[in-house]
């Protein structure tokens, strides 16, 4: 059995992301209380977690040192928010992406928590200064934004409110590392945090290249999946620069003029509508028809790829 010393965590909202967090915390030996507004949601979540953990164990991909049954025994459902957070050292909010709803949850939590627990939101794009506005426990608040599917993609962006205590950031950073995630510190809040800013930069140039008839939608995706993406799974854009010349200084010396020349030709922000959206949609639907079955099957394949990639990354890191 896990050492009870690992601590207790409360998850608020047992949907897709809440389930993933529950599994990750259990993999680190933490006792998890999964809170939601209805019995059905909690029951469904616990069933999905059981199925997923059994699958992971069978395929040799279960995280942590405990077996699936031991990890499952650490997770329980809860329909009372006060009970859910009692004894918790970390609360991870995972309710739908709606500012008013998140504010309501944090206001409720603000009234029942002590001054030690960390209050963390999974929000993808709401700014901490909005989500945690006016809370008495604001020093203990932080955004910990995971990437879908969090069990296979370890990055977590930590984004503080301007009044978040450094200790809150440090504790959350250490906790994320403990459960095998890969935290990054976003020093100051900014729309899109870091990940979505990079993602949107890529999406917008992809869109412009297709819109202008430079490449087809399917070839555009190949540029990433069989080109840039191959190395980006292991090294980032800055290290790529460093390695693609005799170090960073040599890269900037050699290529900065060329990069600036190309960057000046970038077009305006696309509106993602009209003929281009039809063209892109048609191409995507040829590859993956947009009915729920085909989409689900393709997502499952994607997750299988990510799972194997995660294994490879672990092997490569240990070399």
Closer to ligand NAI by Cβ: residue 123 or 276: 123
The answer to the question of residue 36 lying near ligand NAI (CB under 6 A) is yes
Three-state DSSP at 80 gives coil
CA distance 307 to 291: 24
Binding mask 101-130 for ligand NAI (x = CB under 6 A): ----x----------------xxx------
The answer to the question of residue 154 lying near ligand NAI (CB under 6 A) is no
Backbone angles phi, psi at 105, to 5 degrees: -60, -45
- 274-287 helix and 195-211 helix, angle to the nearest 10 degrees: 100
**Cα-based torsion angle of the residue sequence 187, 190, 194, 197 in order, rounded to the nearest 10 degrees:** -160
By CB under 6 A, the count of residues binding ligand NAI is 22
23 and 66 in contact (C-beta within 8 Å)? no
| Interacting residue with ligand NAI among 1, 3, 60, 96 (CB under 6 A) | 96
Stretch of 3-11, 89-97, 130-138, 283-291 contacting ligand NAI, by CB under 6 A: 89-97
The answer to the question of residue 17 lying near ligand NAI (CB under 6 A) is yes
The answer to the question of residue 146 lying near ligand NAI (CB under 6 A) is yes
Residue pointed to by tokens 């529950």: 22
Stretch of 91-99, 173-181, 228-236, 283-291 contacting ligand NAI, by CB under 6 A: 91-99
114 and 88 in contact (C-beta within 8 Å)? no
Helix (H), strand (E) at residue 208: helix 195-211
The answer to the question of residue 12 lying near ligand NAI (CB under 6 A) is yes
Residue pointed to by tokens 């980032």: 236
Cβ-proximal residue to ligand NAI, closest one: 15
The answer to the question of residue 23 lying near ligand NAI (CB under 6 A) is no
Which residues lie near ligand NAI (CB under 6 A)?
A: 12-18, 35-37, 41, 94-97, 105, 122-124, 145-146, 148
């Amino acid at each position: 059995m896990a050492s009870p010393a690992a601590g207790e965590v409360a998850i608020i909202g047992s949907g897709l992301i809440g389930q993933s967090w529950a599994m990750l915390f259990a993999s680190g030996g933490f006792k998890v209380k999964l809170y939601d507004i209805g019995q059905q949601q909690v029951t469904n979540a616990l069933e999905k977690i059981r199925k997923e953990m059994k699958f992971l164990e069978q395929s040799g991909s279960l995280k942590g040192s405990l077996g699936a049954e031991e990890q499952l025994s650490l997770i329980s459902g809860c329909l009372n928010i006060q009970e859910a957070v009692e004894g918790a050292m970390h609360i991870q909010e995972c309710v739908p992406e709606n500012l008013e709803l998140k504010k309501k949850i944090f206001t409720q939590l603000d009234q029942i928590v002590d001054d030690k627990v960390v209050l963390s939101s999974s929000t993808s794009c709401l700014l901490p200064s909005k989500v945690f506005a006016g809370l008495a426990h604001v020093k203990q608040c932080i955004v910990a934004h995971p990437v879908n599917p969090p069990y296979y993609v370890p990055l977590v962006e930590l984004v503080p409110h301007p009044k978040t205590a450094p200790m809150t950031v440090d504790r959350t950073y250490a906790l994320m590392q403990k459960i095998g995630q890969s935290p990054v510190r976003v020093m100051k809040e900014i729309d899109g945090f870091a990940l979505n800013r990079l993602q949107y930069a890529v999406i917008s140039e992809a869109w412009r290249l297709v819109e202008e008839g430079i490449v087809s939608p399917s070839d555009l995706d190949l540029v990433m999946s069989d080109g840039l993406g191959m190395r980006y799974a292991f090294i980032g854009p800055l290290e790529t620069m460093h390695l693609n010349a005799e170090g960073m200084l040599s890269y900037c010396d050699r290529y900065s003029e060329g990069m600036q020349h190309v960057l000046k030709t970038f077009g305006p922000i696309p509106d993602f509508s009209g003929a281009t959206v039809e063209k892109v949609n048609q191409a995507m639907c040829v590859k993956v028809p947009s009915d729920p079955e085909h989409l689900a099957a393709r997502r499952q394949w994607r997750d299988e790829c990510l799972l194997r990639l995660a294994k490879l990354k672990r092997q490569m890191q240990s070399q």
